[in-house]
Amino acid sequence: MILGSGNLVHNLMMINWEGKPYPWATDFDNFVQKNLESRNDVALINYSQNKNAANAHPSYDHYLPLIYALGAGEGEKVEFYNKKIVMGSIGMRCAIFGKV
């Protein structure tokens, strides 16, 4: 088992304690979901080219664990849980590759 820990959207500077998800946070989360499902690894690796990447990840440390897990789960179907975006700018979506 390989566990990658991070957030698919992670911008602590933009936290809104009682706010709904920012549109850029939802858009980036959808970008990651779509590209995981279609196994578009190139888009996921080059995520910084996405128009919302700078807001979704001002630094890449919370995104990179996904890339490690993606490589280890090559050819495996992805499933998701905990799809919430909380505090406006923290995406809690989790991805599982293969059977659990």
Domain that holds residue 63: 9-97
pTM, entire model: 0.90
Does 1 map to a domain?
no
* pLDDT tens track for 43-77: 999 999 999 999 999 988 889 888 888 888 777 78
82/68 Cα distance (integer angstroms): 20
Task: Quote the longest CA-to-CA distance of the chain.
Answer: 39
Does 31 map to a domain?
yes
Q: How many domains does the chain have?
A: 1
Amino acid type, 44: L
pLDDT surpasses 70 at 10: yes
Region 23-50: mean pLDDT is 95
40/76 Cα distance (integer angstroms): 13
Does 62 map to a domain?
yes
CATH number, domain of 42, equals 3.40.830.10
| Sign of the Cα pseudo-torsion (58, 5, 39, 34, in order) | negative
Does 4 map to a domain?
no
Start-to-end Cα distance in the chain: 9
The tally of CA atoms less than 13 A away on the side-chain side of residue 79 is 5
Does 61 map to a domain?
yes
* Confidence band, pLDDT 50/70/90 cuts, at residue 27: very high
Does 2 map to a domain?
no
